[in-house]
Amino acid sequence: MHRFRCPVSRLLLAVTCVVTWAGLASAEVPYWIVSTRRCPQRPGAFGTGSCPLVFRAEPGRPTTPSTMPQLVGSLDPNRPVVVYVHGSYNDTSTTVRDAKRLFQWLSADATSPRQPQFVVFGWPSDAITLVVPSIDVNVLGNRAEFNGYYLARLLSTFPKGSSVTLVGHSHGARVVAAAMHLRGNGVLQGFRLPPMPADGVAVRTVFLAAALDEHWLAPGERYGQAWSAMDGFLHLRNGRDRVLGVYALRRPFARHPLGRVGLDSLARRGVDLPRQNAFEIDVSNRVGEGHLVRDYTQHPDLAHEMRPFVLYDPSLVLHRR
């Protein structure tokens, strides 16, 4: 292994989403928001038209509604795109607050030609029952997986030659894993991506506090097809994460989470980590028992380690498959 040092009518829900996202404060760095919060959340009922919703955040201006063609048209394939995918129990304000922290944390020097472009991918991750956490975690985990379809479709719209890094936090890592599995011609919940020509988009993935079973990325497992769609994989392992420490309690005989166990578990199951450009940083001593995005972004040295991978630094030469 390599190591680096709303239950309301659809119309009302759409209006609520617009008001909520558009009412947010201005950004320190410009970014886009793609929200599937009003999209259908069951197979066979995928969104069309105004789903997903798109917004633009600019420094000094309030967040405003936009369109997918405007987002895609703004992307420069010569600069990396960082897409942040949040975890469960995030409302819109929490998502944007964490995204701002993450984007500031990962930003290169303002004069760098590799200055990244940022996108927030928001999905409906609010609590379901409020009183039975184990039910919430299972339902939201499945919902995260389902929204991998929307994320995979989003990636297929990016300009040819784009270099994208997906940063998934907690259940956001499951959204990312599902999207990569689908891009690798995998099947999930009985559906797959429709046939389409190769889009020429390179995708790397980063997992923070990954809330998915330790074996699901192994060959033949739930997201085993993900590797064929990834240009590289960076995993931040935290063996002391308190939230992930109770992950296995969500159902009988559940496996431990990848975020605590790390990539050695996948290596034992046949994943050729060097060939897959899989890297890992052990953050146990820095992040400690923390699980939230802010527990990571308070460590600038960690961002410094991650940037060559995240921003496609040409000095980092990866194995080409």
Q: Which carries the bigger pLDDT value, residue 48 or residue 168? A: 168
Classify strands 64-66 and 53-57 as parallel, antiparallel or unpaired. Answer: antiparallel
**How large a percentage of the chain has pLDDT more than 70?**
81
Q: What is this structure's pTM?
A: 0.89
Q: Which carries the bigger pLDDT value, residue 136 or residue 289? A: 289
pLDDT digits (tens, 9 = 90+) for 154-210: 999 999 999 999 999 999 999 999 999 999 999 998 988 988 778 899 999 999 999
d(CA 219, CA 181): 11
Amino acid sitting at position 184: G
- Domains of the chain by residue range: 2-310
Q: Which long-range contacts (CB under 8 A, 24 or more apart) does 296-305 make?
A: 296/105, 296/208, 296/209, 296/236, 297/101, 297/102, 297/104, 297/105, 300/105, 302/236, 303/105, 303/106, 305/4, 305/5, 305/281
Query: Residue 21: its pLDDT value, please?
Result: 58
For the 2-310 domain, the top CATH level (class) is: alpha beta
26 beta partners? none
With beta carbons less than 8 A apart as the criterion, state whether 63 and 26 touch. Answer: yes
Among 8, 10, 31, smallest CA distance to 21 is for 31
Q: Residue 133: is its pLDDT beyond 80?
A: no
Q: Residue 271: is its pLDDT beyond 80?
A: yes
Q: Residue 69: is its pLDDT beyond 50?
A: yes
Report, as an integer, the average pLDDT of 52-64: 92
d(CA 23, CA 277): 40
Report, as an integer, the average pLDDT of 298-315: 93
* Phi-psi label, residue 193: left if phi above 0, alpha if psi -120 to 50, beta otherwise: beta
Helix (H, G, I), strand (E, B) or coil at 261: helix
